[in-house]
Amino acid sequence: MSIFFNLKCLRSFIMKLSSGWEQSVYVLLILARLPENRTMSSIALANRLKVSPSYLKKIIKSLVDEGLLRSTPGKNGGFSLNKDLHDISFYDVFLAIEGRGRIFQSQGLLQNFIGSESGKAKRCAITSALDEIENTLVRTLSNVSLAQVADETQYNYNLGYLDEWIDEMD
């Protein structure tokens, strides 16, 4: 079964993610195709993806800070992968871009809703449901590696134009 099919249940959630999450995934996939010891500038990446260079720099900084990318300073510097794609999950990218902490944070409105503090339940049903959804989401995002995405993309699409573009960047 396709990993993309498995992620259809997450489609509405992923659509709510910042655009930085998707841009991050493509940056990582592009950099994974670089020959060893090569780097690429954030400007080249922004041009390829047709996204804001200033926003992409912010995203790349988050990926560097999280240890997913390596930054090489200097005239011929740029960015490269710091981890193998097998060791990077969708959840790793999520943490780098969206930050750590709860995905769904209850506002604690139950007491306001019922108008008192008495009741049989020890926990709010909404909070319990959101906790279960969050656990499922984290588990699902953690189970998809960027290597899987790269392999499936390679299988489904001709990446020759991308590789030619990378070669021309020399």
Per-residue tens of pLDDT for the chain, all 170 residues: 444 444 544 554 544 566 788 999 999 999 999 999 999 999 999 999 999 999 999 999 999 999 999 999 988 899 999 999 999 999 999 999 887 766 666 666 556 565 666 666 566 677 777 778 888 888 989 999 999 999 999 999 999 999 999 999 86
Number of domain units in the chain:
1
Q: How far is CA 140 from CA 3, 77, 94, 100, 135, in A?
A: 10, 35, 12, 17, 9
In the three-class reduction of DSSP (H, G, I as helix; E, B as strand; rest coil), residue 145 is classed as strand
In the three-class reduction of DSSP (H, G, I as helix; E, B as strand; rest coil), residue 12 is classed as helix
CA 150 from centroid of its chain's CA atoms: 14
CA atoms within 13 A on the CB side of 16: 6
Give the domain extent around 76. Answer: 3-168
Domain CATH code at residue 117: 1.10.10.10
